[in-house]
């Protein structure tokens, strides 16, 4: 008798299959529509952008989960034995080649629950760096600084370290390195870099988001390192460019110069090799 | 008539605090004072009042535009021990090298023999407090409060004779429903179409009258000033502008007091420049170009701000449109361009 029930799994009629497909299509449409609305709403309420976008992956997994539950329980009317049989089939599928897909889905669930990153964060995962634009069932979409769309498989969260630059916050710490000649006035250069940072249209300064300017001496040049938070992480590179441009404009006016090419001269003297 | 009285309304406690600090200074304890408020909120009125009360003791410096020369704030030759500097936000510019004058002021105020009473735009103050910790130099910080409806009424009506203004009810007010359907127009840009979304509109005037009938009759003038207070958010300057726009001399009706809605649509550069104008009260095109860094963009940005009714031009300087102040502050805070 039990065996009969198991084999009934294969006895789906066309209506059952059609109903299941319709439910999946409806779930897909619902996910797309709600994602679209949430993204639009999040852009309108800029301050709470991340809070709204955080709901996206939870929403997706919930809708697809409910759709699958509805298909198995109400459309297919699967008994426990039938579920067991299907589980066996899925297990075999995973064994034969769906292993990665399964790992991606589990990775997606872990990302949703544990939140190592959220939609809108700037992350580095494996060799990829960019802004998380979507967390899907199978992959996380990243937009790189070159505006390329990268699909990073969700299972990477198990195998690769994840570096999150803002962890759900709006701001992101940007680092700007400028190199000046050893003979230039370092104090004046540090003041200029500080002012270029704190007057930038992209900066955000508060007690929790302070800025710093550091100086390091190298044999043939000095490195100025400015650290400040960008108001919105989407403007990370605009901020760096804005500060660099305005700092160098002022350096030129104040006679602060870039390192000379004496590295090459020193390196090539005598042996002709760079030391 | 009531100019002197008008300036005091709503700020008596703040003036008393300043007078207490002056008394402490005279007994040997120096405390510099910062009076902080948003545009149109009455900073200069307070400075005038303090100067008037302490006419024999103070000298005053009025800053009307961004200061570029440190000689403009030099105090050589002045013998009075209390210095009032109005509009101190003109002592800095948000650009590289734009803090030299304010650093000069901070050196000046270290002088133990002179007390400084300064006024600041709220948004400049918040910015400067984060980036150069200006608050440390001013132990007494006075934030001007928002006025109540009664204070706004007292302030505005002090400029008129008794019974000069007639407060009348709108025609058809009695027939107006407390809750009614209205249509909100939304523009769908990709389709270039406008759709009407029905929503429930609540008539707060009718609601207030209905609720208050059980207790006491609300005078029409109180209703009007409550509305003005709500729209101006207690800002006396904005309230004055709304009053002038609503008044059909000598008559004013509740229906004439209208809340303007500004649908602000700006890109990041335009929002930043709007934030600068808000923080500076009044600033010229050349200074804005120096701050923005790209002179060719400024005309276009100012055109966009003017077109949306967010700023006005006065003597070649850009100023915030008082009626748009609330919408602008909300928009810029949402964009995190003012703190």
With pLDDT > 90 as the criterion, what percentage of chain B qualifies?
60
pLDDT reported for residue B35: 97
Domain parsing of chain A, residue ranges: 1-168, 172-262
Task: Name which of B326, B216, B197, B208 is nearest B260 in CA terms.
Answer: B326
Distance from CA of B138 to the nearest CA of A (A): 18
What percent helix, strand, coil does chain B show, rounded to 5?
45, 20, 35
User: Which tokens in the block code for residue A2?
Assistant: 């039990």
Closest CB to B97 among A45, A47, A250: A250
Q: Beta strands of chain A (E only): which ranges? A: 122-125, 128-135, 139-143, 149-153, 162-164, 172-181, 203-204, 212-217, 221-230
Give B100-120 pLDDT, tens digit per residue. Answer: 999 999 998 888 889 999 999
Of A199, A207, A231, the CB nearest to B95: A199
Question: A175 pairs with which residues across the strands?
Answer: A227
The CA distance from A210 to the nearest CA of chain B, in Å, is 8
CATH 1.10.10.10 location in chain B? 268-334
Q: Start-end ranges of CATH 3.40.50.300 in chain B?
A: 3-143
* pLDDT interval class at A8 (50, 70, 90): low
Instruction: Tell me the residue ranges of DSSP E strands in chain B.
Output: 33-37, 58-62, 82-86, 115-121, 140-143, 166-167, 179-188, 193-202, 251-252, 282-284, 311-314, 317-320
Q: Name the minimum distance, in Å, from the CA of B132 to any CA of chain A.
A: 9
B269·A207 Cβ contact <8 A: no
Q: What is the mean pLDDT of residues A89-106?
A: 76
- Taking the Cβ of residue A132 and every Cβ of chain B, the question of whether any pair is shorter than 8 Å is answered with no
A217 and A180 in contact (C-beta within 8 Å)? no
Q: Which residue has the higher pLDDT, A80 or A175?
A: A175
Query: Model confidence over A210-254: pLDDT tens digits?
Result: 999 999 999 889 999 999 999 988 899 999 999 999 999 999 999
Backbone angles phi, psi at B72, to 5 degrees: -65, -20
Q: What is the residue-wise DSSP string for A191-223?
A: HHHHHHHHT-TTEE--SSS--EEEEEE-SSEEE
> What does the block give as tokens for B214?
């059980």
Q: Which two tokens stand for residue A91?
A: 């297990």
CB interface of B with A, residues 75-134, below 8 Å: 94-99, 130-132
Residue A105 has pLDDT above 60, yes or no: yes
B136-166 pLDDT per residue, tens? 999 999 999 999 999 999 999 998 998 898 9
From B270, which residue of chain A is nearest by alpha-carbon distance?
A: A201
Which residue's structure tokens are 């003979």? A183
What average pLDDT is seen over chain B? 87
Q: Which candidate, A123, A232, A233, A215, places its Cα nearest to that of A178?
A: A215
- Mean pLDDT is highest, among B67-71, B88-92, B184-188, for B88-92
For residue B131, is pLDDT > 90? Answer: yes
Residues 216-255 of chain A with CB under 8 A from chain B are 231-232, 235, 242, 245-247, 249-250
Q: Candidates 3.40.50.300, 1.20.1060.10, 3.40.190.10, 3.40.1280.10; correct CATH number of B3-143?
A: 3.40.50.300
Q: Check whether B203 has a pLDDT greater than 60.
A: yes
pLDDT digits (tens, 9 = 90+) for A40-79: 787 776 667 777 777 787 888 888 888 888 887 777 777 7
Report d(CA A236, CA A228) in Å as an integer.
Answer: 10
Distances (CA, A) of A233 to A131, A165, B126, B275: 9, 9, 22, 19
Pick the CATH number of B268-334 from 3.40.50.300, 3.30.200.20, 1.10.10.10, 3.40.50.1820: 1.10.10.10
Does CATH place domain A172-262 in 3.30.56.10?
no
pLDDT value, residue A61: 82
Predicted confidence band of residue B58 (pLDDT cuts 50, 70, 90): very high
């Amino acid at each position: 008798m039990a065996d009969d029930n198991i084999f009934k799994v294969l006895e789906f009629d066309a209506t059952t299959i059609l109903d299941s497909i319709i439910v999946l299509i409806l779930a897909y449409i619902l996910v797309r529509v709600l994602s679209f609305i949430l993204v639009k709403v999040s852009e309108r309420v800029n301050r709470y952008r991340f809070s709204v976008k955080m709901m996206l992956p939870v929403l997706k997994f919930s809708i697809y989960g409910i759709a699958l539950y509805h298909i198995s329980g109400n459309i297919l009317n699967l008994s426990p034995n039938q579920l067991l049989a299907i589980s066996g089939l899925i297990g075999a599928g995973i064994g034969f080649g769906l292993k990665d897909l399964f790992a991606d889905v589990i990775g997606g669930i872990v990302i949703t629950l544990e939140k190592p990153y959220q939609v809108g964060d700037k992350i580095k995962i494996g060799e990829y760096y960019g802004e998380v634009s979507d967390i899907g069932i199978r992959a996380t979409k990243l937009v790189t600084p070159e505006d390329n769309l990268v699909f990073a498989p969700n299972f990477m969260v198990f195998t690769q370290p994840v570096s999150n630059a803002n962890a759900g916050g709006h701001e992101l710490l940007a680092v700007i390195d400028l190199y000046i000649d050893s003979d230039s006035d370092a104090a004046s250069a540090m003041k200029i870099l500080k002012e270029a940072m704190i007057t930038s249209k992209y900066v955000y300064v508060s007690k929790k988001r302070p800025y710093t300017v550091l100086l390091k001496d190298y044999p043939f040049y000095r490195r100025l390192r400015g650290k400040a938070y960008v108001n919105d992480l989407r403007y990370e590179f605009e901020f760096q460019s804005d500060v660099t441009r305005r700092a160098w404009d002022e350096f030129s006016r104040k006679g602060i110069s870039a390192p000379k090419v004496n590295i090459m001269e020193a390196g090539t003297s005598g042996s002709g090799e760079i030391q | 008539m009531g100019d002197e009285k008008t300036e005091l309304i709503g700020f008596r406690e703040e003036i008393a605090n300043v007078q207490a600090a002056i008394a402490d200074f005279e007994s040997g304890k120096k405390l510099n004072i910062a009076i902080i408020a948003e545009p149109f909120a009455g900073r200069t009125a307070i400075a005038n009042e303090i100067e008037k009360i302490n006419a024999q003791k103070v000298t005053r410096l009025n800053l009307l535009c961004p200061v570029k020369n440190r000689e403009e704030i030099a105090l050589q030759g002045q013998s009075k021990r209390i210095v009032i500097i109005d509009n101190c936000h003109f002592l800095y510019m948000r650009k590289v090298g734009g803090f030299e004058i304010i650093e000069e002021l901070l050196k000046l105020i270290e002088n133990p023999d002179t007390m400084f009473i300064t006024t600041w735009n709220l948004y400049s103050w918040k910015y400067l407090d984060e980036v150069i910790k200006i608050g440390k130099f001013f132990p007494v910080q006075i934030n001007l409060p928002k006025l109540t409806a009664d204070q706004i009424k007292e302030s505005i009506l002090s400029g008129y004779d008794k019974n000069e203004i007639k407060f009348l009810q709108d025609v058809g007010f009695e027939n107006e429903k407390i809750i009614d359907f209205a249509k909100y127009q939304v523009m769908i840009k990709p389709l270039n179409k406008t759709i009407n979304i029905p929503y429930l509109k609540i008539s707060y005037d009718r609601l207030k009258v209905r609720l208050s009938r059980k207790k006491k009759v609300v005078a029409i003038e109180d209703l009007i000033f409550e509305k003005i207070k709500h729209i101006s958010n207690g800002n006396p300057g904005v309230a004055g502008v709304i009053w002038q726009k609503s008044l059909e001399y000598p008559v004013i009706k509740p229906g004439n007091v209208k809340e303007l809605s500004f649908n602000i649509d700006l890109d990041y550069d335009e929002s930043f420049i709007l934030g600068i104008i808000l923080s500076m009260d009044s600033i010229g095109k050349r200074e804005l170009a120096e701050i923005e860094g790209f002179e060719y963009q400024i005309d276009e940005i100012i055109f966009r701000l003017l077109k949306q009714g967010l700023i006005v031009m006065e003597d070649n300087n850009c100023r915030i449109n008082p009626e748009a102040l609330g919408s602008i502050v909300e928009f810029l805070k949402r964009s995190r361009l003012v703190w």
